[in-house]
Structure 1
Amino acid sequence: MNSSTIGRIIVKQPTKAIICAAGLGTRFLPQTKAMPKEMLPLIDRPVIQVIVEQAVAAGVTEIIIVTGSTKRAIEDHFDRSDQLEAELRENGKDDKADEIKRVAELANFVYVRQKGFPKGNARPILNARHLISDDEPFFVFFADDFFRSDIPWPMQLKEAYNKTGNSVISLIEVDDDGTHKYGIVSLADNKKDKRLYQLTGLVEKPGPRNAPSHFASVGSYLLTPEIWPIIEQEKVGHGGEIGIADSLAELARTGELYGLFIEGVWHDTGDQLKYIKAVVDLALESEEYGAELTDFLKQRLSE
């Protein structure tokens, strides 16, 4: 049985992840005219591959990628390429051929085209609804943000879920400016441990004067089936869209929702500067490039 015991409660373990990857990536034009923003490289891996690998490390076996009409490159990336593999092996590059094969075999990949109005970041979750059973928990990720962490951040969410048996979302601390950009949560007095809190509410982009805290929800969730009746109402919220933040807020009010401060460094690759920071951060942590890049940056900054 794919389950874990909490006291006397047996909770089903998540094996599916929805990755929302239908955005146009207009901030990166003209680069994203022909290449999806989710395929922007973090050194030698696209952003979406980092997310997939970390989800698989947490026990996910089925990846549901909700895409748009310009995202064929994502499907090609996670597909086998027999001709390329054969050519690499003929040229003595077995390591590269093995890596190409490994990526294609990370999980079972399912692709769904995003459709429906009103739009919003809850729409791709609804588009994947038919692939999720009524009794199973599931991950949701957005394909342009991730954590650099020693313990895969989906695994951290899964451990928190196993403690609570309820939906868990990723949290980070933000400054006043961040309260204009993210959904801000309110914490209950009780907590499961030093990083895991029950939430009493979530307000989308309230600004510093109305923010209940400086703790923001970012795009990684492990959700239980209790979320479905709420999302399926398709209530229009902030900006005239159906947002996952509104559904999470209702779940916090009417049920149980937990927030986990992830141990790691959060990166959002949704604009140019943040993307550059993510690449530099990962490169500095690299055994292959870190030392030389550090020396280069010190020299460059001293000029």
Structure 2
Amino acid sequence: MTIKKAVIPVAGLGTRFLPATKALPKEMLPIVDKPAVQYIVEEAVQAGIEEILFVTSRNKEAILNHFDRSIELEQHLDEKGKWSELREVQSLASLATFQAVRQTTPLGLGHAILCAESFVGDEPFAVLLGDDLMMSEKPAIAQMMAVYEETRQSVIGVQNVRREHVHKYGIIQYAAKDKKRYEVSDLIEKPQPHQAPSTLGIMGRYVLTPSIFQDLRSIEKGEGGEYQLTDAIKSLLQRESVAAFPLLGDRYDIGYKFGYMRALIEMGMKHEDMQEEYIQLLEDVLEAQKNRVLS
């Protein structure tokens, strides 16, 4: 089957960004002129995804509202002759078909994916985590969907990370490497550097076969009393092969303040309409900081 459905888990509370996220979903924090979640949706749509399910929680209505029509705003822009802005906001609702399901209890990523079972049905599907932005010439999830089309097996998106940072990631162990993909033999959630079987960290992108739901229903709670997706994939490995694909592109972990600030800086520098001013601002800030240190 061609993959046409994507699940985007956005139920997290965003406590690392309090108080900014007390009333605003962290996924709606702007990266220059778009909320973070819009970049993720655009990645999925550019890859050919037609239906998107947000797995949400309480007070996340703003996410679905962002991809809905706003008649009052459209009328205002029309009356003011702001045609470019009008086309921009109107286009959001036509990107894909959007749905939402609420994860009423925060029981982990595995449980969030299980909440999407009725939406997915018996089709293969994509998962894009709301904390991970991937910027690349070919959408990251499209790179993985191409592997699925060839192999018809689940695919995990990975990138090499520094060994001293493996404790921040799920790490794959692989049995073999074929061309540019790996045959996964095990997954270890946030190992210590000396325990990590590789430095290939999971980057928040998955293509999964629907049989994963059998494993999601049978796994026990893991770290933090939550149902871990990595545990379900480890169970899936007993019946199906799983590939890992090294993603091409830049990844920003916007679930942390540093990753969010890095995304703001690097993606801001790519905006042609303000690129020169932006670079000059950064140079001025660095020069001022240097002078303060010297003084």
Which of 74, 79, 94 is the matching residue for 2:83?
94
Correspondence for 1:204? 189
TM-superposed CA distance for 1:176, in Å, is 2.6
State how many pairs are aligned.
288
Counterpart of 1:171, as a letter, is: V
2:69·2:93 contact (CA, 8 Å) conserved in 1? Answer: yes
Alignment partner of 1:258 is 2:252: no
Supply the distance in 2 between the matched residues of 1:215 and 1:189 (Cα, whole angstroms).
13
TM-superposed CA distance for 1:292, in Å, is 2.6
Q: Deviations over 1:89-143 (max 9, x none)?
A: 11010111111110111111101010357x1111111111111122x10011111
Alignment partner of 1:151 is 2:138: yes
Structure 2: which 5+ residue stretches go unaligned?
289-295
Correspondence for 1:167? 154
Aligned structure 1 segments of 4 or more residues deviating by more than 6 angstroms: none
What is the CA RMSD across the aligned residues, in angstroms?
A: 1.4
Alignment partner of 1:127 is 2:115: yes
TM-superposed CA distance for 1:253, in Å, is 4.4
Which of 165, 168, 178 is the matching residue for 1:181?
168
Supply the distance in 1 between the matched residues of 2:171 and 2:240 (Cα, whole angstroms).
18
Which of 257, 271, 278 is the matching residue for 2:256?
271
Which of 224, 231, 234 is the matching residue for 2:219?
234
Counterpart of 1:24, as a letter, is: L
Correspondence for 1:48? 37
TM-superposed CA distance for 1:234, in Å, is 3.4
Q: Deviations over 1:201-247 (max 9, x none)?
A: 11001111110011111211110123121111132222221100111
Normalising by the residue count of structure 1, what TM-score does the alignment of the two structures yield?
A: 0.91
TM-superposed CA distance for 1:148, in Å, is 0.9
Paired residue secondary structure (1:295): helix
2:27·2:37 contact (CA, 8 Å) conserved in 1? Answer: yes
Alignment partner of 1:287 is 2:272: yes
Supply the distance in 2 between the matched residues of 1:206 and 1:227 (Cα, whole angstroms).
23
Normalising by the residue count of structure 2, what TM-score does the alignment of the two structures yield?
A: 0.94
2:120·2:210 contact (CA, 8 Å) conserved in 1? Answer: no
Structure 1: which 5+ residue stretches go unaligned?
1-11
Paired residue secondary structure (1:13): coil
2:54·2:101 contact (CA, 8 Å) conserved in 1? Answer: yes
